[in-house]
C-alpha cells in the first residue's frame, strides 16, 4: 500500500466518479492510495477511513467458524468501502483483497465523521450504498437446487446480454470451484444451452 501524491490524478478520479456530488460538505481531505495485487484494502481500518474503489478489482472473502476462508465475490466497479462500519456495523469476519493493482480515494474519518453525520446528501448516498450491498449479498445467498440452476439464474439475470467472461471470476461469484463450474459449462455446451464465444467467454444460446 502506498499513497499517491499526484493531485492531477486525484482530481481526475474525483471527477470521473462524481465523488464530490455525494457530499454537501466542501473541501474534504481526500487522498489517493494504491494497493498491489494480494494486498488487503482493509489495512486502512474501515472504522477510521472511507475508501472509494476507483480503479482495479477486489475480492471479498469471509471466515468460517473453523477458521477456514471462503470467497464471497469480486468487484471491479466503483464501490464504497467502510459504509457499513460508518453505520456502526463492525465486521471482523470479512477481508477485502486486491485482485489487481487497485486505486482508492480515501477519506479519513477522525476529522470528518461528526460533520458527515450532519451531511444530508452523504447520508442519502450512504443509505443507497448499504442497501445495494445488502441486496447483492442477499442475492448471492439465494438457494438453488444445483450449481447449474444457480449459474443459469446468474447468467440470465445479472450478466449483460446473458454473456460472461472469466470462468474464475464466475466461480467466485457462485461460491464454487473452477473445476465444478467447468463441469457445468461442459454439460450445458453439450446440451446446446450455452455457446462458447471465445476462450473463457460464454453466452446463453437463446440470448439475442
- Strands across the sheet containing 94-98: 69-75, 58-63, 94-98
133 and 67 part of one domain: yes
Query: Which value, in Å, is the radius of gyration of the alpha carbons in the chain?
Result: 19
203 contacts: CB under 8 Å, gap ≥ 6: 161, 162, 163, 164, 194, 195, 197
pTM: 0.69
Domain containing 186 equals 147-204
185 and 106 part of one domain: no
Domain boundary among 123, 140, 157: 140
Q: Which residue in the block uniquely carries the three cell numbers 490524478?
A: 9
Domain total of the chain: 2
pLDDT at 208: 47
65 and 34 part of one domain: yes
Query: pLDDT band for position 207 (50/70/90)?
Result: low
Task: State the CATH number of the domain containing residue 72.
Answer: 2.60.120.10
State how far the alpha carbon of 69 is from the alpha carbons of 72, 136, 139, 178, 200, in Å.
10, 20, 20, 16, 26
| Residue 98 to residue 120: CA distance in whole angstroms | 31
pLDDT digits (tens, 9 = 90+) for 161-200: 889 988 988 887 777 888 899 999 999 999 999 999 999 8
126 and 42 part of one domain: yes
pLDDT digits (tens, 9 = 90+) for 120-152: 999 999 999 988 777 666 655 555 668 888 888
156 and 131 part of one domain: no
Domain boundary among 113, 140, 167: 140
Domain boundary among 140, 160, 186: 140
127 and 102 part of one domain: yes
176 and 125 part of one domain: no
Amino acid at each position: 500500500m502506498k499513497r499517491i501524491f499526484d493531485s492531477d490524478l486525484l482530481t481526475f478520479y474525483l471527477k470521473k466518479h462524481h465523488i464530490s456530488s455525494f457530499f454537501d460538505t466542501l473541501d474534504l481531505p481526500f487522498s489517493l492510495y494504491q494497493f498491489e495485487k494480494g494486498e488487503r484494502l482493509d489495512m486502512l481500518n474501515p472504522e477510521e477511513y472511507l475508501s472509494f474503489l476507483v480503479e482495479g478489482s477486489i475480492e471479498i472473502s469471509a471466515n468460517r467458524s473453523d477458521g477456514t476462508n471462503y470467497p464471497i465475490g469480486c468487484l471491479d466497479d466503483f464501490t464504497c468501502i467502510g459504509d457499513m462500519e460508518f453505520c456502526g456495523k463492525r465486521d471482523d469476519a470479512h477481508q477485502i483483497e486486491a485482485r489487481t493493482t487497485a486505486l482508492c480515494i480515501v477519506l479519513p474519518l477522525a476529522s470528518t465523521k461528526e460533520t458527515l453525520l450532519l451531511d444530508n446528501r452523504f447520508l442519502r448516498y450512504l443509505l443507497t450504498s448499504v442497501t445495494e450491498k445488502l441486496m447483492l449479498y442477499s442475492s448471492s445467498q439465494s438457494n438453488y437446487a444445483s450449481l447449474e440452476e444457480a449459474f443459469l439464474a446468474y447468467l440470465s439475470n445479472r450478466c449483460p446480454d446473458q454473456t460472461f467472461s472469466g470462468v474464475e471470476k464466475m466461480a467466485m461469484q457462485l461460491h464454487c470451484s473452477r473445476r465444478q463450474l467447468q463441469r457445468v459449462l461442459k454439460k450445458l455446451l453439450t446440451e446446446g444451452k450455452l455457446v462458447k464465444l471465445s476462450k473463457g467467454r460464454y453466452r446463453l444460446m437463446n440470448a439475442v
